[in-house]
Amino acid sequence: MSVSQFKSFMECEARTLAELRDEYTRPHSSALTVGSYVHSAFESDEAFGQFINDNYNSIFKARGGKYTDFEQADRMIETLKKDKFAMFALEGEKEVIYTAELFGVEWKIKVDNINHQRKIFSDIKTTQELGKRYWSDKYSKYVSFVEAYDYVLQMAIYREVIFKNTGEYYNPYIIAVTKQNPPDKAILHFDETRFDFEKEYVQMHLPGVIKTKNGETNPVRCETCEYCRATKQLKNTFEIEFLLD
């Protein structure tokens, strides 16, 4: 199990199972490519160069120059590289893989940046605006992008897996940079009490996820994602009131 796989199951079991069975591939996402572009810039010069080579046609226009999203990504990279505190928070080993058993399941994580001397780990996250609010059914309230995209859950799991491997709890940080022009930025830490809820959330939903993954139960369709829209078969009518459910 990985955090991204767990999050995907929470979004739509049917789509995730179809992906695991190689029956479905999600459409290309420019936003994900841009995010990976920014991450690779802080991994190493070699990794950044390799990423550009591997995604050349997505980054560069046929007539020369980068697409607008990647020009903006360059500004985001430069914004962080010019900030001494941000670069301080990003000092450490890059792309470190750990595995450990949590809640009866083997987990695998890849930590963007970890510093054993300071006992911290950090991750770059790109977002539209630092203060933008998102409605969350999980929390039943408006939340920040950090909660909306389950980054608190990610940090909670990473923290536990790192503890299993080192015997110590490391403090997580998010280095956030926005897609605004010029970009905004912030370094975010977490009140440790937030992690308790996330661990309880994973423990509550994980047994169902494992049963679905093992084929013991039928996957639940969200009926809103691209996979469910593409495979939907109508069987009944419904009253217009349910359009807004």
Radius of gyration over every alpha carbon of the chain, rounded to an integer in angstroms: 20
CATH number of the domain bearing residue 16: 3.90.320.10
pLDDT digits over 155-211, tens only?
A: 999 999 999 999 999 999 999 999 999 999 999 999 999 999 999 999 999 999 999
**117 located within any domain:** yes
Name the token pair of 194: 């937030």
Q: Is 67 inside a domain boundary? A: no
pLDDT of residue 244: 82
Q: Number of folded domains in the chain?
A: 1
pLDDT of 77 reads 97
Q: Is 54 part of a structural domain of the chain?
A: no
Q: What are phi and psi of 67, to 5 degrees?
A: -65, 155
The answer to whether residue 60 is domain-embedded is no
pLDDT of residue 96: 96
* 135 within a domain of the structure (yes/no): yes
Per-residue pLDDT, averaged over 206-221, amounts to: 96
Confidence (pTM)? 0.92
- pLDDT at position 146: 98
Read off the amino acid at residue 222. C
Confidence of residue 232 (pLDDT cuts 50, 70, 90): very high
Q: How far apart are CA 14 and CA 212, in angstroms?
A: 9
pLDDT mean over 209-236: 95
| Average pLDDT estimate for 95-111 | 97
pLDDT at residue 28 in the model: 82
Full domain range(s) for residue 146: 3-26+81-244
Q: Is the peptide bond before 219 cis (omega within 30 degrees of 0)?
A: no
DSSP secondary structure, the chain, as one string: --HHHHHHHHH-HHHHHHHHTTS--PPP-HHHHHHHHHHHHTT-HHHHHHHHHHTHHHHB-TTSSB-HHHHHHHHHHHHHHT-HHHHHHT-SEEEEEEEEEETTEEEEEEEEEEETTTTEEEEEEEES-TT--EEETTTTEEE-HHHHTTHHHHHHHHHHHHHHHHSSPPEEEEEEEESSSSPPEEEE---THHHHHHHHHHHHHHHHHHHHHTTSSPPPP-SSSHHHHHH--------GGGGG-
In a domain, 223, yes or no: yes
Give tens-digit pLDDT for 104-139. 999 999 999 999 999 999 999 999 999 999 999 999
What's the pLDDT band for 102 if we cut at 50, 70, 90? very high
| Residue 126 covered by a domain | yes
**What integer pLDDT is reported at residue 245 of this predicted model?**
72
Q: Among the listed ranges 30-34, 66-70, 90-94, 174-178, which one has the minimum average pLDDT value?
A: 30-34
Query: Considering Cα of 157, then 161, then 166, then 168, what sign does the dihedral take?
Result: positive
Mean pLDDT of all residues in 67-91: 96
Residue 47 lies in a domain: no
Say whether pLDDT at 51 is over 80. Answer: yes
